[in-house]
A and B are shown apart, each in its own frame.
Chain A
Amino acid sequence: MRHTWAGWLVAGCCLLLPTAARGQELPAVPASGDPQVRTAAPAPAGGCQLPLTAHRRRGLPARAAALIMSGQHGGAVAFSFVTVPLESKAGTVTLAYLLDIDGTSLFGEQPGVVVPVEVVVYAMAAGGGVSASSSLVVDADPGVCPAVLSPAGLRVVGALSLPESEHALRVLVRNTVTGDFGVAELPRALPALGEGGALLATPLGVEPAVWALAVEEGSAEVLRPVLAPTWLEAGMTVSTRPVVGPGMTLPLLLPARGVSPGTRTATTRVLDRQGKEVASGELAMGSRETGALGSLDLWKVEWKVPDLPPELYFLEVTAPGVLAGSKVVGTVPCLLVEAANTPSPAVWAALDGVVVPEETSRRAAYQAGRGRKGEANPKVKAGYRAALMQLKTGGLDAAVAAVADLERPLLASGSSGELEGVIWAELQVARDLAGSRPESALSLTLLHMKLYDRYARARELLPMAHTRRILEALTELWLDRSRRPETRSQAADLLANLAATLQDAGLDATAARLFKRSIDVDKGCAAGLIGMAAGLERSGAYRPAVRFLEQLVDAHPDHAEGKLRLAVNHLRVGSAARAERLLDSCLGSDAPPWVRIVAYQELARVEVGKGRLDAASSLLGRARREGLEDEQIRLFQAFLLDRQNRTREAYDMAATVTAVPTGSEGSARLRYSQWPRDDREVIRRRLDEAAPAAWETLREAVGALRWEAGS
């Protein structure tokens, strides 16, 4: 199922990174053609050279054209963009576009390869025809320029020449190695002219210049007003999606023509995603810089952000035109978040209503090694084979130890190219084994899971990171090769388990990507759904958390923890009735005690909110009669008695609070606040049960290949 957005995509919070001077030499770019994976060239002297050049490409690959005209919205790659009309001459407008791409979703974890990033822009006229187009390729090497990999990501700036009439912009961004893409449309990218030629373009937010920049080749001069704006402080740039907090004052710049110089105020409307007005007001028109953007003036204004729930909104500004009775309208999307330090994955995820299209992701194929050419390092391959041969001679532990002894020195350098080389070598061996025994990929996955435990105990961080990557690759390989009907759900479990490991390690963005992948592989993957939801909840993204939890409860109606988390999050987003029904369903004796304790507490809280203190007290009393002893239940009871002016009884209850024994796992509410683990434990048990057969399969596979010594 694919969800459709309103046509605007989101920028995340920015990290502070330096921008380099323009005019520096760029790394050599191979001739155009079908892009292939290339190992990174040694880093040029001086390291990352920004800005990168976005090379123009003639024509458009059929796939890109199909995607951009398909009417799809969304995709795996998140980006946002804004347009700025620069110049208008003889009925033709130079329209600059600034495109900010989330580095994490664009590049994933691909150190050591040069990634051609395709950016295609179509300008759609009102009649549906294409007035202008642009096809650019940016060669980005995350290993050399780690700036592109961060959530701040890559900013691509280009320009189109359009007739002076209303146009929408359709944009496609694609990682040509993995195939991951994103598409979106920006309606009114160039608004229609008002009466007398008046125009109010997209209001521009301002942010620190932190993006790794790529500029369309040959357009630096034309784009100078947005690349080096004289109308902004040094170090600041135009934002493609202001991220705001309630109550803050957002400075905006209004590019406009034909707005009366004496204008004092403009009206504002805030629209939600459905286009419904949720707030309105006025803003004072501040100073005006005449001709700051070619034929457009720039008005400086400040907008007081209203107190609204965190969501994506559209700020519509209406200003009076020069001609009496005329007006011009400009719209900019704004992302309202709870706090300026909202974690970036939550910012992206907060508006992530899109499921990756059902066609197989090429990232997965890449991970599985399909289409990947070139021979891996033969010595590493030989060493890996020799280590695996230990299965036949020394047993499983010996094989694990041998792989660890092989990997440690190889990984010690930390060089992204070498790390990638080890992955590729091990994957090639795994592919060889999977040729005759597809299930051997699962066996290797289990072997590397054992290895991960070993590295984790010794806190060897680089080998841990490497093992996480190879685990993902092996799981995708298994998924690619196995024909057993249960493989998809088991592979999803493995991916979710890996994601949970990443979540424990604090690698939220990658964990979210893997949880999502696990859900794509198996829509009912409980560990994936609850893990994803828990991550979103902890980031304050409650609405998206509800979506995943509804999916979980739909697939697993008896999942007690899932129902509890869904209820708690429904309370947060205002669906009290649904929450109460869910909480009631958590009180059954088959639910774990901690789930029931929290459910009773939350139900009591709901009753307090309704003013029904007796009912709340009664619920807590029932919990205790069922043997659910918890300090916080007694404390809550004491509090309720106090509220009912039964102060002596409240005191007597409070005096018993500290006598309640607490288990080694802590309180029930603490348990809720930890990452979900019950589903992971089920997965681990299943894997333990599958292990003996898996080792046998691997032994057979290793034996069948008859590797020669030293090969």
Chain B
Amino acid sequence: MKRMLAGVLVAWAVGAEAGVEVVITRPAAGEVVFGEVSIAAEVTSGEHIAKVTFMVDGRIVRELTRPPWEVVASMGQDNTEHRLRVLARTAGGSVGEATLVTPRIVVDEEVTFELQQLYVSATSDGTRVLDLEKGDFEVFDEGDRQEILNFARGDVALTAVVLVDASLSMQGPRLAAALAGARAFFSGMRGLDEGKLLIYNDHTELSTPFTNVPEVLLAGLAGVKAGGGTTLNDHLYLALKLLEQRQGRRVVVVLSDGLDANSVLSASDVLLKARQSQALVYWIRLREGAKGGDTEPPPLFSAWRNAAWYREQLRTLDEMVVEGGGRVTIVRELSELAPAFAEVMRELREQYVLGYYPSNQKDDGHWHRVKVKVGRDGVRVRTREGYLDI
């Protein structure tokens, strides 16, 4: 690999029109940016500020109507310049703006950097902790402490696939409650977020495009009927695969009332894919009226499955979810479904993003164990347990 020298970087703040002054305070001038980046601006004016627009490379990221004037935007993984622009408009119509161009890294050697992004949920006594700073975190990759390059807190854009089981067992109020849950999730989407809805049984009943328009996601739901078998593994794999080409935080939210019955892929096949994709998987398991513990496999066998298979399936899917930093939620009443979906979205909105370049990257396909520590008593963190070094 060759390494080249850093180039010249330029950033400037454009002087405001009379009455509105805008200064981009973050990222700092000359800072190289990758992945999810926090953009902050100071806006001062004698008039009331009606709207502040944040743009990246000519595209509107977000518009805010009240402070703090701060957003998180995705810069992607490419080593390139980015043009950040912040426009502020007052109630009286005055406009001010600032522009910042972040540099690219100019290097002697071509280095393929795989930025590792960790999405971290921090809780204390079950309540999410939202005021941690970059310095509160330590990241260890295979035991080696890593330098945290990127840090963002709060709202980070996501791309989510919501998988809803519409097999025969989901007939009637169950499916209605599940679709209400999907609506609750999508209604929490914001500007840069994108979603996709996949309703499945033994095949795909409904598949929407990726979009951030809720109406597109929710169109056609009225015609969906429950029936057929369950191909949870196949559709989990499909969701992970389709997310591959999407930027930013990748999330799968899957609702199922049972385990897989008819898939051609096994849970182990999906686990491999999940490890490659680094997506967060949230599994909402509907166990309405179910007896036995949460680890109890279903009492019935099927032509394709037996008890040993179900045990293995349960264990592997659980491992996949936990390993990826997600969560399994057991729901026992239909009325809890929509809140469960909404809670997932809430958690996603309140996560931290830590980015780092692994110091021990070898591209050898091995699993790297990752650990995140936080320097505050009583705070527990949950994030991805590792990644495949490929």
Interface residues in chain A, defined as those with a beta carbon under 8 Å from any beta carbon in chain B: 338-339, 341-343, 534, 537-540, 601, 605, 631-632, 635-636, 638-639, 642, 647, 650-651, 654-655, 657-658, 660, 662, 666-667, 669-670, 672-674
Bound Cα distance A601, B263 (Å): 11
Q: Is the CB of B273 closer than 8 A to any CB of chain A?
A: yes
Which of B227, B229, B244, B265 has a CB less than 8 Å from the CB of A651? B244
Q: Decide: A639 and B237 in contact? CB cutoff 8 A.
A: yes
Q: Decide: A534 and B237 in contact? CB cutoff 8 A.
A: no
Q: Is the CB of B86 closer than 8 A to any CB of chain A?
A: no
Minimum CB distance partner of B204 in chain A: A658
Which of B245, B261, B306 has a CB less than 8 Å from the CB of A540? B306
Q: Decide: A672 and B304 in contact? CB cutoff 8 A.
A: yes
Q: How far is the CB of A348 from chain B (nearest CB, A)?
A: 16
Bound Cα distance A585, B358 (Å): 52
Please tell me the number of chain B residues within 8 Å of chain A, measured between CB atoms. Answer: 34
Q: Decide: B262 and A667 in contact? CB cutoff 8 A.
A: yes
Bound Cα distance A342, B269 (Å): 27
* B 202-225 contacts with A by CB, 8 A: 202-204, 207
Q: Is the CB of B173 closer than 8 A to any CB of chain A?
A: no
| Shortest Cβ-Cβ A-B pairs, 6 listed | A339-B307, A658-B207, A670-B202, A673-B303, A540-B306, A662-B203
Q: How far is the CB of A654 from chain B (nearest CB, A)?
A: 4
Bound Cα distance A658, B198 (Å): 9
Q: What residues of A have a CB within 8 angstroms of the CB of B188 in the complex?
A: none
State which of B15-23, B24-32, B110-118, B294-302 sits at the interface with chain A.
Answer: B294-302
Minimum CB distance partner of A672 in chain B: B303
Bound Cα distance A522, B201 (Å): 39
Would A540 and B241 be within 8 Å (CB), given that A666-B229, A667-B202 are in contact? no
Minimum CB distance partner of B303 in chain A: A673
Which of A635, A666, A672 has a CB less than 8 Å from the CB of B234? A635
Q: What residues of B have a CB within 8 angstroms of the CB of A670 in the complex?
A: 202, 228-229, 262
Bound Cα distance A343, B306 (Å): 11
Bound Cα distance A605, B265 (Å): 9
Q: What residues of B have a CB within 8 angstroms of the CB of A672 in the complex?
A: 303-304
Bound Cα distance A538, B201 (Å): 20
Q: Decide: B234 and A673 in contact? CB cutoff 8 A.
A: no
Q: How far is the CB of A599 from chain B (nearest CB, A)?
A: 12
Minimum CB distance partner of A537 in chain B: B303
Minimum CB distance partner of A346 in chain B: B301
Bound Cα distance A601, B276 (Å): 24
Q: Decide: B301 and A539 in contact? CB cutoff 8 A.
A: yes
Q: How far is the CB of B277 from chain A (nearest CB, A)?
A: 10
Bound Cα distance A605, B237 (Å): 16
Bound Cα distance A654, B306 (Å): 28
Bound Cα distance A642, B263 (Å): 17
A interface: dominant SS: helix
Q: What residues of A have a CB within 8 angstroms of the CB of B244 in the complex?
A: 647, 651
Q: Is the CB of B242 closer than 8 A to any CB of chain A?
A: yes
Minimum CB distance partner of A633 in chain B: B264
Q: Decide: A636 and B241 in contact? CB cutoff 8 A.
A: no
Other A-B contacts than A654-B238, A666-B201, 12 sampled, CB-CB below 8 A, are A339-B297, A631-B204, A631-B234, A632-B203, A632-B264, A636-B265, A642-B241, A667-B203, A669-B231, A669-B263, A670-B228, A674-B303
Q: What residues of B have a CB within 8 angstroms of the CB of A650 in the complex?
A: 241
Bound Cα distance A632, B241 (Å): 14
Q: Decide: A635 and B228 in contact? CB cutoff 8 A.
A: no
Minimum CB distance partner of B205 in chain A: A662
Question: Can you report 17 residue pairs joining A to B where beta carbons are below 8 Å apart?
Answer: A341-B307, A343-B301, A631-B234, A632-B231, A632-B263, A635-B237, A638-B237, A638-B238, A647-B244, A650-B241, A667-B203, A669-B202, A669-B262, A669-B263, A670-B229, A672-B304, A673-B229
Q: Decide: A657 and B264 in contact? CB cutoff 8 A.
A: no
Q: What residues of B have a CB within 8 angstroms of the CB of A632 in the complex?
A: 203, 231, 234, 263-264
Which of B238, B262, B273 has a CB less than 8 Å from the CB of A673? B262
Q: How far is the CB of A570 from chain B (nearest CB, A)?
A: 15
Q: Is the CB of B308 closer than 8 A to any CB of chain A?
A: yes
Q: B253-297: contact bitstring with A at CB < 8 Å (1 yes, 0 no)?
A: 000000001111100010001001000000000000000000001
Q: What residues of B have a CB within 8 angstroms of the CB of A539 in the complex?
A: 301
Bound Cα distance A188, B264 (Å): 49
Bound Cα distance A339, B296 (Å): 11
Q: Decide: B306 and A338 in contact? CB cutoff 8 A.
A: yes
Q: How far is the CB of A405 from chain B (nearest CB, A)?
A: 34
Q: How far is the CB of B1 from chain A (nearest CB, A)?
A: 21
Which of B231, B264, B306 has a CB less than 8 Å from the CB of A601? B264
Q: What residues of A have a CB within 8 angstroms of the CB of B231 in the complex?
A: 632, 667, 669
Q: What residues of B have a CB within 8 angstroms of the CB of A658 in the complex?
A: 198, 204, 207, 238
Would A654 and B242 be within 8 Å (CB), given that A667-B202, A667-B203, A673-B261 are in contact? yes
Would A635 and B265 be within 8 Å (CB), given that A673-B302, A673-B303 are in contact? yes
Minimum CB distance partner of A675 in chain B: B303
Which of A338, A339, A538, A657 has a CB less than 8 Å from the CB of B303? A538
Q: Decide: B203 and A666 in contact? CB cutoff 8 A.
A: yes
Minimum CB distance partner of B262 in chain A: A669
Bound Cα distance A539, B302 (Å): 7
Bound Cα distance A341, B299 (Å): 6
* B 82-104 contacts with A by CB, 8 A: none
Q: What residues of A have a CB within 8 angstroms of the CB of B238 in the complex?
A: 635, 638, 654, 657-658
Residue of B198, B229, B262, B264 most packed against chain A (CB within 10 A): B264
Q: Decide: B304 and A673 in contact? CB cutoff 8 A.
A: yes
Q: What residues of B have a CB within 8 angstroms of the CB of A647 in the complex?
A: 244
Q: What residues of B have a CB within 8 angstroms of the CB of A540 in the complex?
A: 301, 306-307
Residue of A655, A666, A669 most packed against chain B (CB within 10 A): A669
Bound Cα distance A650, B273 (Å): 12
Bound Cα distance A409, B293 (Å): 45
